[in-house]
C-alpha cells in the first residue's frame, strides 16, 4: 500500500508510534534521521499536562544550560 503524504505546513511533521507492553516506544526512522537521534543517545522527556511532551537529546539540554548558566546540569559521566 503506498504511503499517503498529508498536506502540512513547511517544517511541520507528524508520526505515530505505539507504546509496547514494557512502556517503550520506537521513534520512526524518518524522525530519527531528521533530528539526528542515534542508538545509545540519552533523551530527556519534558512534559506539560496541557501541551504535551517534548523529547530533546540530553546533550542539547545541557548545552542550553551551559549557555544560560555558564555551567552544565550534568557531568559527562552522568550524561552517558
Whether 29 is covered by a domain: the verdict is no
Residue 15 covered by a domain: no
The whole-number average pLDDT for the span 3-31 is: 84
Give yes or no for residue 27 having a pLDDT over 80. Answer: yes
Q: What residues make up the domain containing 58?
A: 41-79
Provide the sign of the torsion angle of the four alpha carbons 41, 42, 48, 52, taken in this order.
positive
Q: For the residues 22-32, what does the mean pLDDT come to?
A: 92
pLDDT of the residue at 33? 94
Q: Does 58 reside within a domain? A: yes
Is 30 contained in some domain? no
- The verdict on residue 28 lying in a domain is no
Q: Does residue 58 surpass a pLDDT of 90?
A: no
- How far apart (Å, rounded) are the C-alpha atoms in residues 12 and 10? 6
Residue 53 CB contacts under 8 Å (≥ 6 apart), including other chains: 45, 46, 47
Residue 24 lies in a domain: no
Count up the domains in the chain and report the number. Answer: 1
Q: Is residue 64 part of a domain?
A: yes
Q: What is the pLDDT of residue 65?
A: 72
Amino acid at each position: 500500500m503506498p504511503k499517503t503524504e498529508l498536506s502540512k505546513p513547511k517544517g511541520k511533521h507528524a508520526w505515530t508510534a505505539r507504546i509496547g507492553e514494557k512502556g517503550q516506544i520506537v521513534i520512526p526512522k524518518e524522525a530519527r534521521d531528521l533530528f539526528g537521534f542515534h542508538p545509545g543517545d540519552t533523551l530527556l522527556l519534558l512534559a506539560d499536562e496541557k501541551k504535551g511532551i517534548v523529547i530533546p537529546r540530553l546533550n542539547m539540554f545541557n548545552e542550553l544550560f551551559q549557555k544560560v548558566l555558564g555551567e552544565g546540569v550534568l557531568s559527562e559521566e552522568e550524561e552517558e
